[in-house]
Amino acid sequence: MSDTRVGPRGREAQRLETRKRVLDAAIAEFARTGATDADLGAVAAAAGVARGTFYFHFPTKEHVLLELEAREEARIAEDLARFLSVPRDLATALGATIRLIVEMEQRLGTLLFKDLLAVHFSPTRPLTDEWREHRVIVLVVGIIEHAHAAGEAEIAVDPYHSAVFFLLGLYAVLTTTTGAQPLRDMALDSYLTTVLRSLEPRRSPTDTRRR
């Protein structure tokens, strides 16, 4: 059976193309100046649209960052899923997750990377944001559940909570160590060790007495 689906046409195709131009121009400006200092007039000019068109597609600068977050998350999730297609132990899997997120800074630049991390802690982030719709969170949940099945981890709380705590803690470490590579390397090593210790199975008092 042939696939007869076609892409958007006419005005919808034009709208999507304009939106992409505006987004690309905004990302370039944010990378150059940071989101706070970004000149939206310059963004509109680079995209070849009126300033009001920017607000039509992205009501605030944060909406640009949320769109970029979704794009980067999809990329990381694809790479992580590929890595996890081969069985991995807990330390290796979480270490790869950290590495893939850190690599965003090389793609985005330091200023944009910091802005993207900060949006995770924004008080204006939509309250309807559903953790279970984020592919990276879902993959980390799978890592924890696989480790539990293999006897590497103990599930004491909802694995989704553990995954969110892991990622938010990682974002906090990265935010506070930007521009300090030796400190960041040490902090990330310590952070991974702390996470692994928090997940490792606890010995019961009976097990302790038997030793």
Give me the domains of the chain, ranges plus CATH numbers. Answer: 8-59 (1.10.10), 65-201 (1.10.357.10)
Taking the C-alpha atoms of residue 112 and residue 91, their distance in angstroms, rounded to an integer, is 29
Q: What band does 205 get if pLDDT is binned at 50, 70 and 90?
A: low
Could you give the dihedral angle defined by the CA atoms of residues 65, 69, 72 and 78, in that order, rounded to the nearest 10 degrees? -160
Q: Nearest 10 degrees: CA dihedral of 81, 84, 85, 87?
A: -170
> Is-above-0.75 flag for pTM?
yes
204, with CB counted inside 10 A (0-12, 13-18, 19+), is exposed
For residues 169 and 140, is the Cβ–Cβ distance under 8 A?
no
Reported confidence tier of residue 108, pLDDT bands at 50, 70, 90: very high
Q: Give the pLDDT confidence of 69-99 residue by residue, as tens digits.
A: 999 999 999 999 999 999 999 999 999 999 9
What integer pLDDT is reported at residue 103 of this predicted model? 96
Report residue 82 CA to chain centroid gap.
17
| pLDDT reported for residue 124 | 80
Amino acid at 64: V
